Structure 1
Amino acid sequence: MEDRIIELETRIAFQEGTLQDLNDIVAKQQNLLHQLTDEILKLKGLVQNITTSDLAEEREEPPPPHY
């Protein structure tokens, strides 16, 4: 009986360590996900600005001579 209790305590200790490791990994991934989301939003804004400015420049250009 004593051996079974020791084995169970050992397993629980190992599982607690594994659970803590997994929690740390999930927390790091969540931080990275937030950073990547922020970067995507910044890039989306830059692309929209570039697209808008390109369209404005195209409207300002005179048509080519063959028209």
Structure 2
Amino acid sequence: MTEIEMKLQAQIDELEMKQAFQDQTIDELNEALTQQQFLIDKMQVQMRYLVGKVKSGQVSQMASESEETPPPHY
């Protein structure tokens, strides 16, 4: 193998390593994006549920201030 061929082979090897790292990074980013989209979808469902409850005027499960017992320091 001549010196030029060795340099070319080294460049090819380096490019193949870079491509392998890029492929791994793309896979990791795709996984992160997929998880984020899942969470966004879940939060949208929860938000629609909450907005529906607010719009329908359903009473909260919490007692009103007048029904609350006073704190012990009163």
Q: Quick one: which amino acid aligns to residue 33 of structure 1? A: L
* 1:48, distance to aligned residue in structure 2 (A): 0.2
Q: Which runs of 5+ in 2 are unaligned?
A: 60-74
2:11: which partner in 1?
11
What is the Cα-based RMSD across aligned positions, in Å? Answer: 1.6
Aligned residue pairs total 59
1:27 equivalenced with 2:27 (yes/no): yes
TM-score between both structures, scaled by the size of structure 2? 0.75
Where do 4+ consecutive residues of structure 1 move more than 4 Å?
none
More helix by share: 1
Identity %: 14
TM-score between both structures, scaled by the size of structure 1? 0.82
